[in-house]
Amino acid sequence: MESMPYRHGMDTDALRWFQQVADGVTVTEVSELEGVSQPGVSRALRRLETQVGTPLLHRSGRTLRMTRAGSAFKRHVDAVLHQLDDGLAAVNQVVEPDTGTVALAFQVSLGAWLVPDLLGSFRSERPQVQFTLNQVRDEDVATVLAAGRADLVLCTVRSQDRDVHHRRLLDEPLRLAVPAGHALAGRSQVRLTDAAAESFLALPRSASLRLICDELCRSAGFVPTIALECDDLHTLRGLVAAGLGVALLPASGRPPAGAPVERLRYLDLVDVRAFQEIGLLWPAERQLLPAAELFRQHVLDRGRAGRLVPTS
């Protein structure tokens, strides 16, 4: 690639070579890596110093080290080159969207069934698209988008932020989970009021599932007695399986038969409509790169077609 002109006639080759030398790479090594003569690298570094107006490097024995001006300059060089590389990546994705990377965040409970379904179906058509995956708690959903750490978020949180787009994908049923030896375990369906006197196990109050569960119990005419709280669904299932209480849980993505937490039963509820909404979030103020946009359309298309069916 030809050098790209910068302000004051600076070019990316000189900036990148300065960055490498400042990070401890010798001029000889830069020369070998870049396929340029050592005098050519040295001349480029001297031109850069002339353009900046002060020495950026000084020799200490056989090594070049940064001057104070060089240290101050390098922080900005790193930032500029990082932005430039992001820009080149964006251009490359426009030209070849099938080679991009999608940053996907998701709530932990969706990682066992929804995320594999979406990635598998998408990559069967576009195998070269890469993904970076990040599990996120309910309270951190808006943060990962605002900070640019994710292009898209799969979650059960409906954002009220005007800077975030939200689309509903499906409703995931909730069921009453009881230990295998519980008095209700032999039934396939129950009324939630049948569990009014039970000790409930739940997620913290900040979790969207906890808010839904509390509201469902109120709708059924009682306030649940919360015996224990824990931070994740896997632990919650284990606590139910251990006989420490009952819980309202999605049956989706549960472990295979024979796993310890399978010592519980999921019972359908007939007196309340119990579900949690699963949606897709993405930033309103930031245009998605082509690979992320392709995946967004894939997710929405599968949702509209009713192909996102929770496992049970």
Residue type at position 192:
L
* pLDDT of the residue at 6: 42
φ, ψ of residue 271 to 5 degrees: the values are -100, -10
Answer whether residue 12 shows pLDDT above 60: yes
* pLDDT of the residue at 35: 86
CA pair distance 203, 237, nearest whole angstrom? 11
Select the CATH number that applies to the domain covering 7-95 from these four: 3.30.479.10, 1.10.10.10, 1.20.140.10, 1.20.1260.10. 1.10.10.10
The two structure tokens encoding residue 204: 């913290």
Candidate from 40-44, 54-58, 194-198, 285-289 with smallest mean pLDDT: 285-289
Ranges of CATH 1.10.10.10 domains, the chain:
7-95
Superfamily of domain 108-169+277-304: Periplasmic binding protein-like II (3.40.190.10)
Answer whether residue 3 shows pLDDT above 50: no
* pLDDT of the residue at 48: 92
User: What does DSSP assign to residue 172?
Assistant: E
* Mean per-residue pLDDT, 5-27: 79
**179-203 tens-digit pLDDT:** 999 999 999 999 999 999 999 999 9
What's the topology of domain 173-275? Answer: D-Maltodextrin-Binding Protein; domain 2 (3.40.190)
Please state the pTM of the whole predicted model.
Answer: 0.68
Would the CA dihedral through 29, 30, 33, 35 be positive or negative? negative
Torsion-angle region of residue 200: left (phi > 0), alpha (psi -120 to 50) or beta? Answer: beta
**107-164 tens-digit pLDDT:** 988 988 999 999 999 999 999 999 999 999 888 888 888 888 899 999 998 877 888 9
Torsion-angle region of residue 282: left (phi > 0), alpha (psi -120 to 50) or beta? Answer: beta
Cα angle, residue 31 at apex, residues 29 and 37 outer, rounded to 5°? 145
* pLDDT of the residue at 5: 41
- 3-class secondary-structure state, position 199: strand
For 60, residues 6+ apart whose C-beta sits below 8 A from its C-beta are none
The pLDDT confidence band at residue 236, using thresholds 50, 70 and 90, is: very high
Cβ proximity of 93 and 122 under 8 Å: no
The two structure tokens encoding residue 199: 């000790």
Q: If you write DSSP's letter for every residue of 256-277 in order, what string do you get? A: PTTSGGGSEEEEEESSS--EEE
Cα angle, residue 248 at apex, residues 121 and 306 outer, rounded to 5°? 30
CA pair distance 134, 301, nearest whole angstrom? 23
Ranges of CATH 3.40.190.290 domains, the chain:
173-275
**241-265 tens-digit pLDDT:** 999 999 999 978 665 555 555 688 9
